[in-house]
Structure 1
Amino acid sequence: MSTDTRPANPETKGAIELTLAMVLSGTLGVFVIESGASPFNVVFFRCLFGTATLGLYCLARGFFKNHGFTPKKLGLAALGGVFIVFNWAFLFESYEDTSISVATVVYHTQPFYVMLLGAVLFRDKLTAAKFGWLGVAFVGLILVAGVSAADLTGSGDSAYLAGLGYALLAAVFYGISTVITKRVTGVRPHLVALVQLVLGIFLLLPFTQLGEMKGLGGDWGWLVGLGVIHTCVMYVLMYSAYQKLPTPKIAVLAFVYPAVAMLMDWAVYGHSVSLLQALGIPLIVAASLGINLGWSFAGRRAPVAPVEEPAPAAGAVAASRTEIKTGGTR
């Protein structure tokens, strides 16, 4: 009897790794809410436990040798980390004011802010197709937001409207971090993420109310999980997968994250989107894929200029290889 000892297809392994990472990312909202801590406290302890575990991983793998950092690269990584850390805080606040489902879908408008920032700051070309997909995404965003006339006139749920604003602000901060961190080349993404986690500890300490953590009891497990599972383990899986997968497969698998997030929101909290909101979700998904894969409305793929593959910021989960290599985190 013979046994096939050939190594597994790297692309298949990468697809499994990225799928697992996206599934873990989809459970993030539950861990945040179940911890019972305020958004800034959650981010602080995510950075704290994430630093400990990811730091040990980097040490065990020897990543600190020939790290590739220069003062400029370190400064850019840190600057990107400022926006990533507050991106987390605003996203977690949005979970509480809206729902995990709505906040996650609204947050997935990130690629469009990256595109617009690239055009403004670096004069990246905006084609007619990109403007078209931006319009599609905007329509989808309006539907998903589910904002009524009462909300806009002040007689509706002001907290819900604020939550939508937090999700949009988190997405904008993600975009800014992406644009900054894409300049950090020649450095392992794990180390870029570690720099940003360490920065987050000191950056958020003034905003953290440690007195609230007394009597947290078993809920500490949720915070530890955010640092160990949703930071160290998830990042390692994603960074490994990115090296093995082509852009189209990454773009598609990235949407496992919002799908799982919506499923968890329904299963744990009984939250579901309305029919009108559900109509907006495929519009945002299609627009994101269209932007990242260079789709045109004529049915032909637009040419995409070759780009370098710089290191991502802390745990990027964008919908293309380029943005995944340069973006933020969940």
Structure 2
Amino acid sequence: MGRREEGVRPGSRPSVLAVFIFSLVSFGTAGVWVSRIDLPSWDIVLYRSGIGGAFILLVFLLTRQKPEGPAHRKDLGIVFLSGMAQGVSWIFLHTAYQEIGAGLGTIAYYCGPIAVMFLSPLLFREKMTWWKAGTFLAVVFGMILVNLEALESGKTQYGIFAGLMSAVFLAVMLILYKKARHIGGFEGSLIQIAGCFTVVFLFVLSKEGLPRPVPGGSLPWMLILALFNTGIAWCAYYGAVAKLPVQTVSILGYLEPLSAVIWGALVLGESMSGLQAAGALLILGGAVLSEVLPAILGRRHRSGVRER
């Protein structure tokens, strides 16, 4: 499956949107399951990528999709490298879940796409508007507020560091993935998760040899994380994303960190201070507005041109 967007029939659009929103809300539950698994973050990522990747491979084979990789070997390598970056990012992200909670960990993680947006003029020669620069500064200020009160304990400092490093490697993943123009969809996700599994497996071998077995009490949560949050949710995401406009995907994508905050509060009892809540609003608001306002202004401009 390539990266070309497909048109969506009017009657099917609500169902496609529902599937896409389901996948994002599902992604937001990851921190809940991770908090219940008694394993180091790297072992969690190894099992998650291995079991989830096997599920995605099964779906890919059952749907009999034609692979694009053999015809685009350079892109194949780039997507695999992006998956390796995703693996490192997940190790830091799962550490952040365990140290500072699902909500704050996911918010830190989602600074990655904002960093890519800010670097896009240098990397992809995309124009940086004053509006996007302003929203980037809002996100940075929001991160300062979110972490201001959390810097009191050494454990939390490490959690914040892990969250920010997850964002750095997420940005690397996005940059690499954007450079591969011919491989996407289920095939792209399958190659990515193979790269993720490979780098984490090598890390586990170097650190502790064979991975630790999953404790009996953690097994149900590991299966939910690997099969539901990774396998099923990824298939739903990549099945819907090819049928939706880019702007819709970009804007709705921020439902994931929002849902992570909500799940963290409802299930794990996580709470934020007033400053942290203000910082979270700045991060989410800046991220959404960086996508929404240009789309609105673009539609108005095109409408004005048609009227003239």
TM-score (norm 1): 0.79
One-letter amino acid matched to 2:30: L
Q: Which residue does 1:237 correspond to in 2?
A: 236
1:202 pairs, out of 194, 198, 201, with 198
Q: Which residue of the partner structure matches residue 167 of structure 1? A: 163
Q: Taking structure 1 as reference, are residues 201 and 106 closer, same or farther at Cα in structure 2, changes over 3 Å only?
A: closer
Name the Cα RMSD after superposition.
2.6
Query: Retained in 1: the 8 A contact 2:75–2:182?
Result: no
Identity %: 24
- Unaligned runs of 5+ residues in structure 2 are 1-8, 302-308
Q: Higher helix proportion, which one?
A: 2
Deviation at 1:211, TM superposition (A): 6.2
Gaps of 5+ in 1: 1-6, 305-330
After superposition, where does 1:138-149 map in structure 2 within 5 Å? 138-147=140-149
- Contact 1:78–1:196 under 8 Å retained in 2: yes
Whether contact under 8 Å (2:84, 2:198) holds in the other structure is no
The 10-residue stretch of structure 1 (80-89 or 189-198) with the greater mean CA deviation from structure 2: 189-198
Residue 191 of structure 1 is matched in structure 2 by 187
1:310 aligned residue: none
- TM-score (norm. length: structure 2): 0.85
How far has the Cα of 1:69 moved from its partner? 4.5
Superposed, 1:17-56 pairs within 5 Å as 17-56=19-58
Q: Give the counterpart letter for 1:37 in structure 2.
A: L
In structure 2, the residue matched to 1:85 is: 87
Alignment of 1:93-172 (within 5 A): 93-147=95-149, 151=151, 156-172=152-168
Give SS of 1:34's match.
coil
AA paired with 2:65?
F
Once the two structures are TM-superposed, the CA of residue 66 in structure 1 deviates from its matched residue by 5.1
Cα distance in structure 2, aligned partners of 1:274 and 1:98: 14
Cα distance in 2, alignment partners of residues 140 and 59 from structure 1: 43
Residues 64-100 of structure 1: CA distance to partner in whole angstroms, max 9, x if unpaired? 4555652201110111111111011111111112111
Q: For residue 291 of structure 1, what is the amino acid of its counterpart?
A: S
Partners of 1:248 and 1:211 in 2: CA distance: 43
- Is the 1:106–1:145 contact (alpha carbons within 8 Å) kept by the matching residues of 2? no
In 2, are the aligned partners of 1:13 and 1:241 still within 8 Å (CA)? no
Q: CA deviation at 1:221?
A: 2.4
Q: Aligned ranges for residues 196-275 of structure 1 at < 5 Å?
A: 196-208=192-204, 209=208, 213-214=212-213, 216-275=215-274
> How far 1:227 moved relative to its partner?
2.1
| Cα distance between partner residues in 2 of 1:290 and 1:257 | 16
What is the aligned residue count? 290
Structure 1 CA distance, aligned partners of 2:224 and 2:10?
A: 30
